[in-house]
Amino acid sequence: MSESPDLADYEWPACLACHQDLWEDETGRYACRPCENRTHQRLTELPGLFARLHTTAQLMRGARPAGAGTSGSPTPAIPPRIDVLNLASAGGVATRLQAIEDAWRKAFGRRIEPASDGVRIFAPWRTTPGRAVAGQIEFLIINLQRACETYESIDQDIEEIRRIHAECSNALNPNQRPGRVKIGVCPVVLDDENELRCAAQLTASTSSFTVRCPNCQTTWDGNEEWKALHRAQREALLPTAGLTTAA
C-alpha cells in the first residue's frame, strides 16, 4: 500500500508579481488575472501619457538655461525638465519597452526583425521614439495574456511597466503627491520571550520601493524583501492586504 504524500511543505502556487495565491482556474499561470488586468490598463494609458510627454519634450528643445540672454521673442522659453526629456528621448520609455518586447519575442520563439529603409538598418526607438512607442505597446497588449501564462520572468516586466507608467504620470503631474496604501501590519517580534509583535500598520507608496515600519523602523526594500515581509505576515497569521496594492 502506497504512503500518502506529505503535504506539510506544500505551498499553493502564487502570482509571481503580487504573491497572492492563484485561483484554481489560474493554476499554471505565472501572473494572476488581476495583475494582468492592471498591466493592461497601464499599457492602454501609456500612449496618451507618452504623447503628452513627447510633445512637452519637443517644446523644451529650444529652452534657454537660467541666466541666458533674452531674445527678441516676447514668449519666454519653457524651462527644461530633465525627467521629461529623459523619458521622451532615446534611452527612455521607448528603449525600456523595446527591451520587454525583445524578451517576449525571444521567449515566444519569434524573430526580432530589424527596422530598415532598404539601405540602412536602424533602431527606431533611438531615432524616432515617438513613433516606436505606439507599435511597442500594441505588441505588448496583444501578447500580454500569453506572457502572463507562459513567461517565467513576467513579474519583472509587470513591475517595469508599472514603473514606466508611474514615472510618466509623475512627470506630467510633478506637484501631485503619490498616495499611500495599507499593506497589512508589521510582523517583527519585539519581545522574543512573550512573542510580542510590533503590529503597527504598514503602508506603501508607488513612488518608493521601500516599506518602513513607523513604529520599530524596520525596512523592507525591493521585491525579494517584500516577499519575505509577506511570508512573515502569513506565517504569523497577521492581517495583510498583500503587496498587490503597492504594485
Nearest partner of 139 among 101, 107, 111, judged by Cα: 101
C-beta neighbour count of 172 within 10 angstroms: 17
Domain extents in the chain: 14-61+80-176, 177-247
Contact 230, 242 (CB under 8 A): yes
Name every residue whose Cβ is closer than 8 Å to that of residue 98 and which is 6 or more positions away in sequence: 123, 125, 132, 136
Q: At what angle do helices 129-150 and 33-60 cross, to 10 degrees?
A: 170
Maximum average pLDDT range among 12-26, 61-75, 196-210, 221-235: 12-26
Average pLDDT over residues 204-232: 80
Which tens digit of pLDDT belongs to each residue from 94-129? 989 999 999 999 999 988 776 655 555 555 555 567
Q: What confidence tier does 7 reach under pLDDT thresholds 50, 70, 90?
A: low
**What pLDDT is attached to residue 63?**
43
How confident is the model over 194-221, as a mean pLDDT?
82
pLDDT of 161 reads 96
Distance CA 200, CA 188 (A): 9
pLDDT of 8 over the 90 cut:
no
Q: What is the pLDDT of residue 6?
A: 56
